[in-house]
Amino acid sequence: MPTETKTGWGLIGASTIARQYMVEAIRTQKGHEVVAMMSSSAERAKAFAADHKIESAYDSLDELLANPAVQVVYISTTNELHRPQVLAAAKAGKHVLCEKPLALGVDDAVQMVRACNAAGVVMATNHHLRNAATHRKIRELIKGGAIGRPLFARVFHAVYLPPHLQGWRLDKPQAGGGVILDITVHDIDTLRFLLDAEPVEVVGIGQSAFMAKEGLEDGAMSVIRFDNGVLAQLHDAFTVKHAGHGIEIHGEAGSVIGRNVMSQRAVGEVVLRNDTGERLVPVEHEGLYVRGVATFCAALQGTGKPAATGEDGVRSLATALAVAQACRIGSLVRVPEINIQGIQ
Ligand code: NDP
């Protein structure tokens, strides 16, 4: 009997997101297996590997990358580590699924995408919300003309950071902490996806209410102008327990409203409102991370693109950094032009 060839994944980072969602998401893909794990602590690597029945555990990136059973890496370390780890993975010829924000600077992120392109490996960014059945339905409705020309968007993504995540996000600027690189970047990516448009300029004001330290924001409100004219208002926070979350896109002919849709879970509903009234639009929910991994795996086989490419990660990061800058300087900031293909 022929033996089935498996695509082996190495996990870089003993993170909560890997533990809660990604190991399982990878394992749902036929022909894919998690074969190795790496942490900066040998103890954490071993414990994670034992908990998830992963064959090899390393505390060295080079050793994980030297394992021939690893063809793909999933990087979910703190944000300042994504860049060196992606560059090392590309150099070793491994395909890369990297967490958002891709990096702490636009040039760094561009360098990461170029390195993967040059190495001929697939790179994707784990912006999960594009994979939600709700957001895909909202995009379909907008594209199908259900609300006419879109004019405004409002994103409600103010949540309460659970105690087990109240670490580096709140007190480590050098690790890319703060609500803007954590949550605003997701909103931006989602809006880019829903509107099929690119951000042009931003304004914003940050808040450091009581959780964040070291000059980081634990809340922010921003407004983004897109190249199709849409104005989007974003409210992001780590500090409020009862705000609820969702997204609204308002057009000349109607409004589409996603309730409870800025979530890691396959939940929420889509409502279409126009002159004839309001109706619930049916959606078939599926796991966001499962679908994200599935599109990445298909891209590995040469079918289609990952739900969020490396370039998407760069563009969404560039706008998030523009929001952070606008909060710092208190005036309008233009989003920089991105040239992935340009000369290095
Ligand atoms: P965690 O805080 O859970 O983990 C980040 C790193 O912290 C780990 O890689 C690990 O380092 C280290 N760490 C874990 N446990 C301990 C411990 N007990 N003591 C000291 N250090 C420890 O991060 P998240 O899972 O919340 O986020 C990881 C990445 O994923 C970030 O880039 C984040 O932005 C992104 N993310 C993306 C989401 C999405 O939906 N796309 C959702 C949540 C996060 P080591 O690996 O060296 O052990």
pLDDT band at 342 (very low <50, low <70, confident <90, very high): low
Mean pLDDT of 264-292: 98
Atom of ligand 1 nearest to the CA of 40: 47
Pocket of ligand 1, beta carbon within 6 A: 13-17, 39-41, 44, 76-79, 99-100, 126, 128, 165, 167, 182, 264
Q: Which of 12, 15, 193 to mutate to test ligand 1, by most ligand atoms within 8 A of the CB atom?
A: 15
Q: Name residues whose C-beta falls within 8 Å of residue 51's C-beta, 6 or more positions apart in sequence.
A: 19
Q: Round to whole Å and give the CA distance between 307 and 279.
A: 28
pLDDT at 3 over 70: no
Mean pLDDT of 139-146: 98
Q: Compute the mean pLDDT over every residue in the chain, rounded to the nearest whole number.
A: 97
Secondary structure of residue 208 in the 3-state scheme: coil
- The confidence score (pLDDT) of residue 344 equals 42
Q: pLDDT tens for residues 236-270? A: 999 999 999 999 999 999 999 999 999 999 999 99
Q: What distance in angstroms lies between residue 113's CA and the mean position of ligand 1's atoms?
A: 22
Single-letter amino acid code for the residue at 66: A
Query: Which residue's CA is minimally distant from atom 31 of ligand 1?
Result: 78
Q: Name residues whose C-beta falls within 8 Å of residue 317's C-beta, 6 or more positions apart in sequence.
A: 100, 101, 102, 103, 106, 109, 181, 185
Q: Which of 76, 172, 181 to mutate to test ligand 1, by most ligand atoms within 8 A of the CB atom?
A: 76
- The confidence score (pLDDT) of residue 115 equals 98
Tell me the backbone φ, ψ of residue 191, rounded to 5 degrees. Answer: -65, -40
pLDDT at 343 over 70: no
Share of the chain above pLDDT 70, in %: 98
Mean pLDDT of 18-45: 98
Mean pLDDT of 304-330: 98
- The confidence score (pLDDT) of residue 5 equals 81
Q: What distance in angstroms lies between residue 172's CA and the mean position of ligand 1's atoms?
A: 13
Q: What distance in angstroms lies between residue 15's CA and the mean position of ligand 1's atoms?
A: 4
